Amino acid sequence: MVPETHYVRTDGISVAYQLVGEGPADLLFVPGWVSNVEVFWEEPRVARFLQKLAAFSRLILFDKRGTGLSDRVTESATLEERRMTCAR
């Protein structure tokens, strides 16, 4: 089952994210160069891995700016903009 995808708006850009699990600690899964939070769940091995992480935490998945379901961008985000996206 694919978790519901939500969006948060930051600096005029929508960033896609999912919350999975109800554990006592928040665990932020930072994807590699390319991601899509909904496609992650189509690969059985990846889905099992994410479910195991969510078994002991509240797992937070997101698509970086310009990738996956997040808005496309015309220029690269600065390091500060990337840091602020994760902090929100």
User: What is the structure's pLDDT at 11?
Assistant: 80
Q: What is the pTM of this model?
A: 0.80
| Distances, alpha carbon 80 to alpha carbons 2, 45, 71, in Å | 31, 33, 18
Across the strands, what pairs with 23? none
Domain residues of the chain, as ranges? 6-87
Who's near 80: CB < 8 A, 6+ residues apart? none
Are 68 and 37 a contacting pair, CB within 8 Å? yes
**pLDDT tens-digit series, residues 59-81:** 999 998 888 899 887 776 677 76
Q: Could you list the pLDDT tens digit for every one of the 88 residues in the chain? A: 789 999 999 888 899 999 999 999 999 998 888 889 999 999 999 999 999 999 999 999 999 888 889 988 777 667 776 666 565 5
How is residue 81 written in tokens? Answer: 């903009």
The pLDDT of residue 83 is: 64
Structure tokens at 10: 């930051």
Q: What is the CATH number of domain 6-87?
A: 3.40.50.1820
Q: Which tokens sit at 22? A: 């109800």
